[in-house]
Structure 1
Amino acid sequence: MKQKKLGVLGGMGPAATSLFFERVIENTVASKDQDHIDMVVLNHATIPDRTRAILEDNKEPFLQAVKKDFEIFEVAGIDNIAIPCNTSHYFIDEMQEMTSINIINMIEETVSFIRTQFGSNAKVGILATDGTINTGIYQEECHKYNMKAHIPNVHDQQKVMQTIYDFKADKPVDVYGFEQIIANLMENEKCDCVILGCTELSCIDISDHLRPYCVDAMQVLVNESIVLSGKKIKNRAVVSNKA
């Protein structure tokens, strides 16, 4: 496949965008600079909050902000766009209508991976923002494959949101408490795997004994971005949240 340019619509949040960029470089088979993927990374940190846009039913400020980014990508000759933000994919149909450039659907790719790895009868735990949970985008995608989707109880969901926003605010993150939520989904709710459905959660280093059951949506997006750019993924590149 001919090498293609990748556009990265980032800033949601900046640390997650940085990690995505690093993972693309680390997981691309390359022996010299010229073997890597040409990327245009827009760290659009001032994009309106995606969860708030959904919960307040006010999508226009978000859509108007990203429209300008797509115009930049078109001028730059981008072939595929990666958006390392799960919640923003609620608007993917409307975003795709704004541009002729293919937007990689992280939600679809993640659930497709789970079906391949864990089977069509898998029970899938979903850890994500309130916005992502409330839209049901992961739940609906799981149901397409007849897989069971399970969301945390209210108390655990509050902890998930606290974890996400503590990380965004550069505050100490209760990693142990977050891991207990994962363990509960695996042991008590009998989930076969858990989706790390927020890119901030991809930045947290999960313990080795839990990592095999965590499907990191960002890593799925990284892998698909590499393949669609005409490059090969390193053998060591697995779907996990190991930073």
Structure 2
Amino acid sequence: MSRILGVLGGMGPAATVAFLARVQALTPAEGDADHIRVVMDLNPQVPDRNVRPGEAEEELGRMAARLAAAGAHVIAMPCNTAHGQAAAIRAVCAAQGLKFIDMITATADAAAASGARRIGVLATPGGERLYQAVLAARGVEAVLLDGADRETFMGLVYGVKRGDVGETARAGMRGLARALADAGAKALIAGCTEVPLLLRAEEAAAPLTDSADVLARACVEACL
């Protein structure tokens, strides 16, 4: 019997649905009963992690408590930025004896395993700060977007939340990946779960580590 996976979702909804599809696709199964049982709180009303972090943390703690009450053994949150407000989730997991999979740490480990010493990060400002710190602890320099490119990135992310995943948006994300490579990044991290909805690994200007894929693989391993 596999362990039950609890997912704090909705940040944003399309990225959460894509994450769950990855978990399903990565699970070795001969039939329905071989798949992982998932309990999920897909909550698009979590306060904006970029501008209301304190309120977001309170809500994330409540969500984690509900997932624990629903029987979850493993907790995952397919939103990079929200890991900056994960303290309340960790507290619930510690009190309930649950495993919380840290998406930032797992992704940084996977990207650093490539041997690259300069890694470009496609993330929100909050996500950038998280990856900068974790990569630095591994002796890796984070290469970040700046100026107009950062504004373009945020526009593309919020566009995905509105359903804009068309070719113009895809071309924009490819251009941002190229800008990081041109700035010296030898590898890239898709450090926002909206990024892979616009950028496939084979289209990236450098080897791309997808944080949602890393988290999905970690969830399958933890639950099976």
Q: Which of 157, 163, 172 does residue 164 from structure 1 map onto?
A: 157
Q: Which amino acid aligns with 2:223?
A: S
SS at structure 2 position matched to 1:176? helix
Match of 2:123 among 125, 128, 132: 128
Q: Give the structure 2 partner of residue 145 of structure 1.
A: 138
Counterpart amino acid of 2:45?
Answer: T
**1:177 Cα deviation from its structure 2 partner:** 2.0
CA RMSD for the aligned pairs?
1.7
- Contact 2:118–2:141 at 8 Å: present in 1 too? yes
Between stretches 11-20 and 61-70, larger displacement belongs to: 61-70
Cα distance in 1 between the residues matched to 2:74 and 2:202: 33
Counterpart check, 1:10 vs 2:1: no
Contact 2:46/2:59, CA 8 A, preserved across alignment: yes
Q: Deviation string for 1:138-158 (max 9, x for gaps)?
A: 001001110111111211111
- Normalised by the length of structure 2, the TM-score is 0.91
The answer to whether the 8 A contact 2:119-2:188 is kept is yes
Task: Tell me the amino acid that sits aligned with residue 42 of structure 1.
Answer: D
Residue 91 of structure 2 aligns to which amino acid in structure 1? E
Alignment check: 8 A CA contact 1:126 1:138 kept: yes
Does residue 34 (structure 1) correspond to residue 27 (structure 2)? The answer is no
Q: What is the letter of the counterpart of residue 200 of structure 1?
A: E
Query: CA shift at 1:83, angstroms?
Result: 0.2
Alpha-carbon distance change, 83 to 207 in structure 1, aligned in 2, over 3 angstroms: closer
Within 2, Cα distance between the matches of 1:78 and 1:212?
Answer: 37
Separation (CA, whole Å) in 2 of partners of 1:212 and 1:6? 32
Matched residue, 1:104: 101
Range 85-94 or range 33-42, more displaced: 85-94
Structure-1-length-normalised TM-score: 0.84
Equivalent residue number for residue 207 of structure 2: 213
**Aligned-partner Cα distance in 2 for 1:73–1:176:** 38
Is residue 198 of structure 1 aligned with residue 195 of structure 2? no
